[in-house]
Chains A and B, each alone.
Chain A
């Protein structure tokens, strides 16, 4: 029972929100915030895998997000709608409701492959190289998209609204939110499984002492690649979901600013803490909205918050710990018996 308590809790929470949306208890603005929370959770947990658990420093997460966003969007528009550039629909529009996860996954896979391309040269050595390379990749991806006119270039890419509305035509439920809940759950579940296995803990050993890890039998290069691909793939999925929230994307959404935002979430929540990343993604999304009336001053207040955090709690909200370590009582609900060692 305890084994599934977190699944059950998450499932019922999602159901509750979906019912509330369906019955019009939540206005469009609140819905939007909830959806952004989901995307931010995927982004922060996946970046935490590299920056927190593995102790490397990747600063171009938005680049992978952009790859996923464009791949999923282009696939969807090409396959399911009649478009000026891509011609008539290849598949019936209605089939999008069950093929959407496939295109989403494709976006993730392509993003993971781009991640692999980045990982091969940068993981030969350790240190600042990854930061520089990911920074460069972020810019390359953005500039590349800006210069590919078929997908709209700097003007951006749209048409995903039609996808969403053809989903609604089949069954009228809040589809995008459903997919975001599914994606968020999937992402957290995946990372949790990874970091709790002996296999995945290999990356923590790499962070603590890479030489020792390699000599004690961890295939460090392979582990770093796997973790990095997992991280960038999930960022791609987050991008695909993000593209369908507003139905419009442009390269400007995937700049270094966005990457920084994700990094702030990771450091706010605490390195190497999955629950910390989830909490901080939720909290950060709310703070961004609360500070919206401040307009430009927002970008003074939020960095200031970060500085204060670094001064008074440099390890983040939950550094290297999980919520169950901070509140041991939660263990009774979430940790299966016999797994407390």
Chain B
């Protein structure tokens, strides 16, 4: 069953056509890669799906809900979590607090509960702390629980960001260039981590990546975007051979000659 269905998604920034007639059906439990040259509209697709932009046209259906007009936190509450291309952790909050706050959509209490420390508040806070601690252990971050993210190395920050997304127990995890800026050793760890997370949490994973080793290793299916349009999709093997993909990345054979 498709967990996420995108139909005819089109988005304009003023006169610029960022995404055009993008279609996608993401199957439950799948690892899908979204690749394409710089400026192809990959992150825009993510931003449209996560509710940060509202598309000019098109439908997005996530686990049976139409989410096109929802605001980001409402989409998140339905079970979609993501990371960002440029790490966006909350830097004046500790790693542990980062993991707690991302569960905001599951709080189940409000301002009155906060002030009077109601039963709902106490159960919810206990549950939140427990989940955050589990994530700390799973991603071996326990040692850094009380550190501020900005003081930690880059690879670790990426892992914390993935942890923050996992803490909300999503059904769909969207990773925006998780390997960006990582050294080869960190990339290997990341590949291992993503595969492991998928098996452990039974997640559907959708990732944007430039790093071909990551994409070819973990994605079961790849969609290639260029100038906002899907130019190819298929297994890593098929994509590697596809002439349109090679053209999009390397340019025309003619233009190289010239």
Contacts and interface: CB of A to CB of B under 8 A. Distances in A.
Contacts of B96: 341
18 contacts: A194-B115, A198-B104, A198-B107, A198-B128, A199-B104, A199-B111, A199-B113, A199-B114, A204-B92, A212-B88, A212-B89, A215-B82, A217-B73, A217-B105, A218-B104, A219-B71, A219-B105, A341-B146
A326 to B, nearest CB: 16
B93 A193 contact: no
Interface in A215-244: 215-220, 226, 230
B9 interface: no
A276 B114 CA distance: 22
Contact of B121 (A197, A209, A211): A197
Interface string B88-125: 11111100110011111111011101110100010011
Contacts of B81: 216
A109 to B, nearest CB: 14
A208 interface: yes
Interface in A147-203: 190, 193-194, 197-202
Contact of A212 (B84, B113, B117, B168): B84
Interface of A: 190, 193-194, 197-202, 204-205, 207-209, 211-220, 226, 230, 272, 320, 341
B76 A215 contact: yes
A194 B92 contact: no
Contact of A205 (B51, B93, B115): B93
Contacts of B50: 215
A205 B107 CA distance: 15
Interface string B154-193: 0000000000110010000000000000000000000000
A320 B145 contact: no
A41 B170 CA distance: 42
Greatest chain A CB density within 10 A among B92, B109, B146 is at B92
B73 A201 contact: no
B92 A208 contact: yes
A312 to B, nearest CB: 22
B77 interface: yes
Contacts of A217: 73, 76-77, 102-106, 168
A86 B41 CA distance: 67
Nearest to A218: B104
A190 B92 contact: no
A124 B179 CA distance: 34
Contacts of B146: 341
Contacts of A220: 73
Contacts of A193: 114-115, 117
Given A201-B93, A201-B100, A202-B101, 12 more contacts: A198-B124, A199-B107, A205-B90, A205-B104, A209-B88, A209-B89, A212-B90, A214-B52, A217-B76, A218-B73, A341-B96, A341-B145
